[in-house]
A = this chain, B = another copy of it.
Amino acid sequence: MKKAVVLLSGGLDSAVTCFIAKREYECHALVFDYGQKAKREIESAKNLAEEARVFFQIIKLPLSWRGNALTDDTIEIPDGDASADGKIPVTYVPARNIVFLSFGVSFAEAIGAEAVFIGAHQMDFSNYPDCRSSFFESFEEAVRCGTKSGTRGGGIKIMTPIINMTKKEIVEEGIRLGVPFQYTWSCYRDGGIPCGSCESCLLRAKGFVEAGGEDPLIAKNRNEE
């Protein structure tokens, strides 16, 4: 079976992406512990990888720069629609996907994988520049030029299977594929239950409402109360 690296964040999008990837590839999930406040993501990613029965490893990357709300303790995570009017919100971590993908590509080349999957999408998203098709296309070209496998033809593909799906469609696809959403964590904040008010929680809720289903994570938390 062909091999692929899957960047697993613990969130809903990368979970669906992983379940898409594993239909065709032997998947090796990488989870980044990069200094994010939401440590719960890492635990969620581990549980998801176990449920999906894919290889899994945690990579520690010192990306905890000041100046963004996800890694800087002095900046609060904003509530609500932080990316209104096309703004790039304070939750943008500089070049985060460039670093994650680079690492994924290096690992892919080392293990002989031919693709790196990432769960980015540019429909219901936060205007992060590193979540747009134009970025992934140009990055794939850089990888083709800058790797041994790329210069020999073929090379490593950057796979973004949900890039043009809405949150509703991502949830629907996840339901179809049996993604255990109760193990995913989308909230930018850490804690026992999602805050429900950060942009990531709002986008997730929108997805479930529009797909006409209840979020299994919310249902699970209610049942445990």
B102 contacts A67, C-beta separation under 8 Å: no
A109 within 8 A of B: yes
Using A129-B151, A139-B146, A142-B138 as known contacts, say yes or no to A106 and B110 having CB atoms under 8 A apart.
no
A60 within 8 A of B: yes
Give the copy number. 2
Q: Please name all residues of chain B whose beta carbon is closer than 8 Å to the beta carbon of A147 when the two chains form the complex.
A: 94-95, 98, 129-130
A107 within 8 A of B: yes
Q: Please name all residues of chain B whose beta carbon is closer than 8 Å to the beta carbon of A132 when the two chains form the complex.
A: 145-146
Distance between A151 CB and nearest chain B CB, rounded to angstroms: 5
With beta carbons under 8 angstroms apart, the residue of B61, B106, B145 that contacts A96 is: B106
Q: Please name all residues of chain B whose beta carbon is closer than 8 Å to the beta carbon of A138 when the two chains form the complex.
A: 138, 141-142, 144-146
With beta carbons under 8 angstroms apart, the residue of B95, B97, B102, B134 that contacts A95 is: B102
Interface readout for A123-154 with B: 1 if CB under 8 Å, 0 if not?
A: 00000011010110011011111111011000
- Shortest Cβ-Cβ A-B pairs, 6 listed: A94-B109, A65-B110, A135-B146, A95-B106, A102-B102, A130-B146
